[in-house]
Amino acid sequence: MKGKHPVIQFGGSKVGLGPLRAEYIELYYRWNRHFVHDRNIDKPDPLTPEEQEEAFRDFSSNPRYIFFTIYDKEPALPVGIAYLEREDALAEFAIIIGEEQHQGRGIGTEAAQLVLDYAFTVLGLRQVSLVVDESNPGAIQAYKKAGFKEEGKRAPAGDIDGQASYQLTMSCQAADFVSPVLKDLLGKRSIKPESAFGGNHQD
């Protein structure tokens, strides 16, 4: 993909995380549309490029959200997006691996671990939660590997192939999480954690 060199703030063995990039607006929009379509959620009307840019500015400037562009480190391509929606010491987590050829390789699991690391080590959050369709065992297993545990089940979210689809709630507690990257990384820096990384958005 043509464009600027990826800005990777931190990463693991497979995955790098960085801020949102304005040059990837079309990618973010396409990934989100496919994510909604695959889950039989009613899609909103398509957005014009101008509306996509406006939505990008609104979300990336909202302090309640922390966004990450997910990169496959080899060959350093953007492949997805993840975010935390914060409220006090809690947050909701969501992730999309938008490029199909990069799915099923452990990238989503490692990206989720890295976002949890940021949530607990940098932001000092107490709990991160998510909601996942019960009919998606691959995602559930990936979340478990990342550190999430099942909490309960919600009423059917809709029909998948004519069958009622329940949603599972999962969470990860700071007290149960061992930092894979950032605790050691920040320990080597002479700056405060909250100033060690950039903001939501980089042009």
pTM of the model: 0.83
| pLDDT on residue 59 | 79
Q: Where are the strands (E) in 88-186, listed by range?
A: 90-97, 127-133, 149-160, 163-173
In the block, tokens 């545990």 appear at 149
Percent of the chain with pLDDT over 70: 77
pLDDT tens per residue, range 135-194: 889 999 999 999 999 999 876 655 555 566 789 999 999 999 999 999 998 886 644 455
CATH topology of domain 10-191: Aminopeptidase (3.40.630)
Average pLDDT over residues 14-31: 90
Contacts of 111 by beta carbon, 8 Å cutoff, 6+ apart: 15, 17, 68, 70, 80, 82, 95, 97
Tokens of 74: 């080899």
Tokens of 34: 């496919």
Cβ distance 110 to 12 under 8 Å? Answer: yes
